[in-house]
Chain A
């Protein structure tokens, strides 16, 4: 089983739609989680960290389910500018040691007018 798995998509949705991505991870030692956004031919940029209690930032909601080992990203009221690839990132960290970031391959979102 791959360490971090995402549906590659593409997810093609109309403007205004709600879309959700899931990401599963295999290592229960994973301690912190992130969603990065990557526009075409640009670098990945942090979208949001994912907290155990779930967190929201405007139209974006991230949730963590440790029991089932997955994180999710929900985008409400999709905008054309949300079109990008969304990377799930998991930090493996054993005890007090330094972490090791594992990247998913990304889920491509295309928002259409």
Chain B
């Protein structure tokens, strides 16, 4: 089974702090994704990466950046955290983006971030 591991399950940060959320997958997947999930808004794509050092903006990239220096690791960075970034952050990976057959999206357990 694919394993997607997010390093922090719960974080509490203060406004203006820099926040790093780390994600590692162990199945040599090409694609990695960062979503946030908020009540009533569902899952929204922040950024994704289809290769090392490559990144693409999702639907809500403002206030976030990402880093993919190694294939297995995809980091989400909040340069200056704000209270409206309090959310559940979900990392996911997939072999490719055809999403056909057995190639599906697999999520990590999530990182619940609170910004005070």
Given A43-B110, A103-B42, A103-B43, A98-B97 contact (CB < 8 Å):
yes
Cβ–Cβ contact B42 & A99, under 8 A: no
Q: How many residues of A contact B (CB 8 A)?
A: 22
Cβ–Cβ contact B90 & A99, under 8 A: no
Any B CB within 8 A of the CB of A91: yes
- Shortest CB–CB separation between residue B30 and chain A, in angstroms? 10
Cβ–Cβ contact A101 & B109, under 8 A: no
Set of chain B residues within 8 Å of A99, measured between Cβ atoms: 97-99
Bound-state CA distance A101–B48 (Å) is 12
- Shortest CB–CB separation between residue A76 and chain B, in angstroms? 24
Set of chain B residues within 8 Å of A45, measured between Cβ atoms: 107
Any A CB within 8 A of the CB of B104: yes
Bound-state CA distance A93–B98 (Å) is 7
Bound-state CA distance A41–B108 (Å) is 12
Q: Which residue of B lies closest to A89 (CB)?
A: B105
Given A42-B109, A45-B107, A101-B105, A87-B98 contact (CB < 8 Å):
no
The 3 closest A-B pairs by CB, nearest first: A98-B97, A105-B42, A43-B107
Give the interface of A toward B (CB within 8 A): 31-32, 34, 41-46, 49, 87, 89, 91, 93, 98-101, 103-106
A-B residue pairs in contact (CB < 8 Å), sample of 21: A32-B99, A32-B100, A42-B110, A43-B107, A43-B108, A43-B110, A44-B107, A45-B107, A46-B105, A49-B104, A87-B42, A89-B105, A91-B100, A93-B98, A98-B96, A99-B99, A101-B99, A101-B105, A103-B42, A104-B42, A105-B41
